[in-house]
Amino acid sequence: MHPRLHRLASLTLAIALSAGAVTAMADVMVGGAPMLPTKDIIDNAVNSKDHTTLVAAVKAAGLVDTLKGPGPFTVFAPTNAAFAALPAGTVDALLKPENKAKLTTILTYHVVPGKMDAPALLKAIMDGMGTATLKTVSGGTLTAKASGGKVMVTDENGGTATVTIADVIQSNGVIHVVDKVLLPK
Over residues 13-23, the mean pLDDT reads: 41
Domains of the chain: 3-178 (2.30.180.10)
Q: Check pLDDT > 90 for residue 64.
A: no
Nearest one of 151, 150, 80, 72 to 112, comparing CA atoms: 72
Range with the poorest average pLDDT among 19-23, 56-60, 95-99, 166-170: 19-23
β-strand pairing of 173-178 with 73-78: parallel
Q: Check pLDDT > 60 for residue 43.
A: yes
d(CA 152, CA 164): 9
Three-state SS string across 91-143, please?
Answer: HHHHCCHHHHHHHHHHHHCCEEECCCCHHHHHHHHHHCCCCEEEECCCCCEEE
Kindly report the average pLDDT of the chain as a whole number. 83
Give the whole-number percent of the chain exceeding pLDDT 90: 56
**Global confidence as pTM:** 0.82
pLDDT band for position 116 (50/70/90)?
very high
d(CA 22, CA 133): 24
Q: Check pLDDT > 80 for residue 14.
A: no
